[in-house]
Amino acid sequence: MFGASGKMVRLRQLPLFKDLSNRELDLVARLADEIEIPAGRQLTTFGNSGQEFIVIAEGTAKASFANGRTARLGAGDFLGEMSLIDGQPQSATVEADSPVRLFVFGQREFFGMLYEAPYVAKKIMNQLSLRVRRAEAVASG
pLDDT tens digits for range 93-131: 999 999 999 999 999 999 999 998 898 999 899 888 988
Q: What is the mean pLDDT of the chain?
A: 91
List the beta strands (DSSP E) in the chain: 33-37, 42-44, 52-58, 61-65, 70-73, 78-79, 92-96, 100-106
pLDDT of residue 4: 60
- 104 vs 21: which has the higher pLDDT: 104
3-class DSSP state of 43 = strand
Question: Which amino acid, one-letter code, is at 59?
Answer: G
The confidence score (pLDDT) of residue 138 equals: 76
- For the cut 90, the answer to whether the pLDDT of residue 6 exceeds it is no
> Considering only CA atoms, which of 57, 112, 55 is closest in space to residue 80?
55
Average pLDDT over residues 70-99: 94
Decide if pLDDT at 3 tops 60.
Answer: no
Of 132, 120, 130, 56, which Cα lies nearest the Cα of 94? 56
Domains annotated for the chain, with CATH where assigned, are 4-140 (2.60.120.10)
pLDDT in tens, 51-75: 999 999 999 999 999 889 899 999 9
pLDDT at residue 30 greater than cutoff 80: yes
Q: What is the pLDDT of residue 130?
A: 87
Note the pTM of the prediction, 2 decimals. 0.90
Local confidence band at 136 (pLDDT 50, 70, 90 cut-offs): confident
